[in-house]
């Protein structure tokens, strides 16, 4: 068990929450306390005995408080192995005594970053002495106890009391691990901030600073464990997520929510939009004058796939919309807000998750983990410039067709490749997703469109996320009545594909933008 008696404690904290509780415990066990600046004053004001750090080291705080704890008497006391005779001789000669307990929490750099403090304020909130002391004490966990967060006080008090003023090796090892996590996280936030200041998108070394938000019920499948982490200093699409009701969110829920909100944002419309996602793919999307109509159009796009899906609205959900939604089973409803009457209606669906989510600035990088490697790239945030579209056929798209082509392009960006999206009147009619060849994607999209829109599909338009390598996929779309196509172009078979379009008297537009999504 290797119990180590706590005789001397060093306390230096920015966050003084619940510090009085630990001070009472230390007093009960006759522990000598030394402290720094503001912590020293706080402890003295509470009426506890305390030695100020400068008095202890016989060296004054200098450089406006930047230098106060980087002293051999501090780090020697934290690092000395008290079962090593050579160490004991050295610290005795240097008039250094062991510090058995360190309680430190760091300058609130991340808090100031989130508050959008100016550059100089952020620099002055980079802690130097704190991380150094935490690392010294954590390295020497066999003999030193290190506390890096106020939420550890309660267990520390239990540990000290249960061992009559001492701590056990297992406990010291655990809190040392926490301390290294704390310093690693802290430095990661700072380094990422400085990288952003330099627009250093792909630095030689990179760290991701995430804080545990919640442990999820399971991962993609029940036999997989999962947790949710948040990068606090970044703002992205699910920032400010507020769950109003329903079961806890699952791993797959988060994936689908992110996809749904991404598409909603990308549609970039002043009108009302509705996006329905299932298994990370859109199965119905629509834009209309009101949210109720947009929902009906999106749901009708593929009502079979929509069952059990995730819905994202870019506006408010009201009573009439809530009534209509409740006719079908869904996992999650996301909206800017919900009216009081709509919430009353949704109460009857206790497991249905309701999420309010305001518009957020989207982060510009995405990460994909491949075992012990991970890929980093720009997000696919490219917007279609109508002035740069290349019409390659004899027939030009009408203004209405062009509007639908842009809608189809924006949805197609978020469909797993290979992807084909058929639309009409800013409503998806058929989606072909995740096929290993473009012909199969075209056939799937056509099958879905004919299943639910056998008449309406005539006069529709389609988008392809990449070029048509042959005319066969295009021919499938032509057969069901598609009259205009948007695709990147760039195939060695472009002339053949354009010839097929001209023969069928349909319009074809080259975007010169590929939108693979794997």
Q: Are 488 and 494 in contact (CB under 8 A)?
A: no
Any idea which residue has 């947009």 for tokens?
294
Question: Is the Cα dihedral 196, 379, 266, 281 positive or negative?
Answer: negative
Q: Is 223 among the residues known to form the active site? A: no
* C-alpha to C-alpha distance for 293 and 295, rounded to whole angstroms: 5
Cα angle, residue 331 at apex, residues 256 and 231 outer, rounded to 5°:
40
Alpha-carbon radius of gyration of the chain: 31
**Is 244:355 a contact under the CB 8 Å cutoff?**
yes
Residue linked to tokens 């691990």: 177
How many other C-beta atoms are found inside a 10 Å radius of the C-beta of residue 135? Answer: 20
Starting from the edge strand earliest in sequence, which strands make up the sheet with 32-35, in order? 51-52, 32-35, 8-13, 101-105, 145-147
Q: 105 has which bridge partners?
A: 13
Segment holding 195, helix H or strand E: helix 169-197
Q: Which of 279, 337, 400, 403 is catalytic?
A: 279
Known catalytic membership, residue 71: no
Of these residues, 7, 139, 400, 403, which one is catalytic?
139
Q: Are 446 and 476 in contact (CB under 8 A)?
A: yes
C-alpha–C-alpha distance, residues 14 and 169, integer Å: 27
Is-contact 11 19, C-beta < 8 A?
yes
Q: Strand runs (DSSP E) across 350-389, as ranges?
A: 353-356, 365-370, 373-378
88 within 8 A of 82, measured Cβ to Cβ? yes
Task: Report yes or no: 219 and 251 within 8 Å, Cβ to Cβ.
Answer: yes
Residue closest to 486 by CA, chosen among 435, 416, 425, 411:
411
The single residue listed with the structure tokens 């969110």 is 249
Enumerate the β-bridge partners of residue 5: 166
| Contact between 10 and 145 (Cβ < 8 Å) | no
Bond preceding residue 218 cis, omega within 30 of 0: no
What is d(CA 137, CA 139) in angstroms, rounded to the nearest whole number?
A: 5
Angle subtended at Cα 249 by Cα 244 and Cα 252, rounded to the nearest 5 degrees:
140
Angle at 129 between CA 127 and CA 130, to 5 degrees: 70
Of 337, 348, 328, 229, give the one whose Cα is nearest residue 276.
Answer: 328
- Phi, psi (rounded to 5 degrees) for 306: -65, -30
Q: Burial level of 228, CB count in 10 A (0-12/13-18/19+)?
A: middle
- Distance, in Å, from the CA atom of 210 to the CA atom of 396, rounded to the nearest integer, reads 50
Query: Annotated catalytic sites, by residue?
Result: 139, 279
């Amino acid at each position: 068990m290797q119990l180590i008696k706590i005789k001397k404690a060093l306390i230096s904290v920015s966050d003084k929450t619940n510090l009085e509780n630990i001070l009472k415990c230390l007093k009960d066990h006759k522990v000598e306390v030394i402290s720094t600046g503001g912590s020293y004053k706080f402890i003295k004001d509470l009426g506890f005995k305390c030695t100020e750090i400068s008095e202890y080291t016989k060296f004054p705080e200098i450089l406006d408080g930047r230098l106060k704890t980087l002293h051999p008497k501090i780090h020697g006391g934290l690092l000395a192995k008290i079962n090593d005779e050579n160490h004991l001789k050295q610290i005795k000669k240097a008039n250094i005594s062991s510090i058995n307990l360190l309680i430190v929490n760091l300058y609130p750099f991340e808090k100031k970053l989130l508050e959008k403090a100016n550059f100089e304020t952020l620099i002055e909130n980079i802690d130097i002495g704190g991380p150094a002391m935490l690392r010294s004490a954590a390295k020497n966990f066999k003999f030193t106890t290190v506390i890096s967060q106020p939420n550890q006080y309660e267990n520390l008090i239990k540990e000290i009391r249960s061992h009559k003023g001492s701590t056990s090796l297992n406990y010291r090892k655990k809190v040392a691990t926490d301390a290294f996590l704390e310093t690693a996280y802290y430095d990661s936030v700072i380094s990422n901030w400085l990288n952003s200041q330099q627009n250093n998108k792909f630095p030689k070394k990179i760290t991701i600073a995430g804080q545990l938000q919640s442990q999820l019920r399971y991962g993609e499948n029940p036999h997989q464990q999962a947790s949710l982490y948040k990068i606090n200093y970044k703002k992205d699409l699910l920032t400010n997520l507020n769950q109003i009701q329903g079961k806890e969110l699952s791993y797959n829920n988060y994936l689908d929510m992110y996809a749904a909100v991404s598409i909603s944002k990308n549609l970039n419309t002043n009108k009302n939009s509705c996006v329905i996602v299932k298994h990370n793919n859109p199965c119905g999307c629509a834009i209309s004058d009101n949210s109720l109509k947009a929902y009906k159009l999106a749901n009708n796009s593929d009502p079979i796939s929509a069952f059990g899906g995730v819905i994202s609205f870019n506006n408010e959900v009201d009573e009439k919309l809530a009534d209509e939604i409740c006719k079908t089973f869904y996992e999650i409803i996301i909206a800017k807000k919900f009216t009081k009457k709509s919430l009353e209606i949704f109460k009857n669906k206790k497991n249905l998750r309701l999420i309010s989510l305001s518009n957020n600035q989207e982060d510009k990088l995405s990460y994909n983990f491949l075992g012990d490697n991970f890929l980093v790239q720009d997000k696919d945030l490219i917007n279609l410039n109508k002035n740069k579209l290349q019409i390659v056929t004899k027939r030009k798209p009408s203004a209405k067709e062009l509007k639908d082509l842009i809608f189809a392009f924006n949805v197609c960006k978020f469909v797993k490749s290979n992807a084909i999206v058929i639309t009409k009147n800013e409503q998806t009619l058929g989606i072909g997703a995740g096929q290993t060849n473009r012909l199969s994607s075209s056939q799937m999209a056509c099958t879905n469109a004919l299943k639910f829109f056998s008449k309406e599909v005539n006069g529709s338009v389609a988008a392809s996320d990449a070029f048509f390598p042959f005319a066969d996929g295009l021919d499938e779309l032509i057969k069901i009545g598609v009259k205009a196509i948007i695709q990147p172009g760039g195939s060695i078979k472009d002339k053949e594909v354009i010839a097929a379009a001209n023969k069928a008297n349909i319009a074809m537009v080259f975007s010169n933008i590929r939108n693979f999504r794997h």
